Amino acid sequence: MSDFQPLLDYIKTFIELTKEEEAYFLSLLVLTKVKKRQFIVQPNFVCQHMNYVREGAMRSYLVDDKGIEHTIALAIEGWWINDCNSYIFQEPATFFVQALENSVIIQLSYQSEQLLLANIPKFERFFRITARCEVATIQKRVLSNISQSAEQRYEDFAMRYPALLNRIPQYAIASYLGFTTEFLSKIRNKKLKKG
């Protein structure tokens, strides 16, 4: 199996590709190994790649003016991660994107994406569908943050993303859900006592 096969299989659930189109697309991709704690995006630098997690786990976060980290997104195998505003508008990034484990990512550069869209317009459909799914996910998260208690947010997260609970560090999960690691520990202990 090709290193790019999981991404190719995912794309083929949305669009059909000829062998020639597939070969062209694959020629634009780069496989990159990322060590635990290594950054692939940092503030003030333009995000040059779309990043598909082939193996491992990553997170994007920002640091506020008080030095507090706020996790924006988490990603494991089969998920995309980057600083979307920086990538789309080719402006300096706001977020850090960091490996939480030794990881392997498949990267498509901004320039390569432009070539891909010019040469195989059906990729517009793929990117449109995935962007709409991302917007829906973000909307659900915002709604959850303003309408659910911390306990409900954690339970919803645990139900939707059970694979993340034992792989993602507790500080990153807590930050993603909008509370401290200590508060997350209290919620988990309370749940264990009930359970």
* pLDDT, one tens digit for every residue, the chain (195 residues): 589 999 999 999 999 999 999 999 999 999 999 999 999 999 999 999 999 999 999 999 999 999 999 999 999 999 999 999 999 999 999 999 999 999 999 999 999 999 999 999 999 999 999 999 999 999 999 999 999 999 999 999 999 999 999 899 999 999 999 998 898 888 888 777 776
- Cα separation, 17 vs 2, in Å, equals 16
Q: Would residue 18 count as lying in a domain? A: yes
Say if 53 falls within a structural domain: yes
> From residue 138, how far is each of 9, 43, 134 by CA, in Å?
24, 21, 6
Domain-located, residue 42? yes
CA angle at 80 for the pair 112 and 43, rounded to the nearest 5°: 80
For the record, the structure tokens of 9 come out as 């299989």
Domain span holding position 40: 5-120
Length of the chain, in residues? 195
Per the structure, the count of domains in the chain is: 1
Q: Do the domain assignments include residue 130?
A: no
The domain that holds 33 is classified in CATH as: 2.60.120.10
Q: What is the pLDDT of residue 159?
A: 94
Confirm whether 85 is domain-assigned: yes
Residue 67 lies in a domain: yes
76, part of any domain: yes
- Decide: pTM greater than 0.85: yes
Residue 1's pLDDT is 55
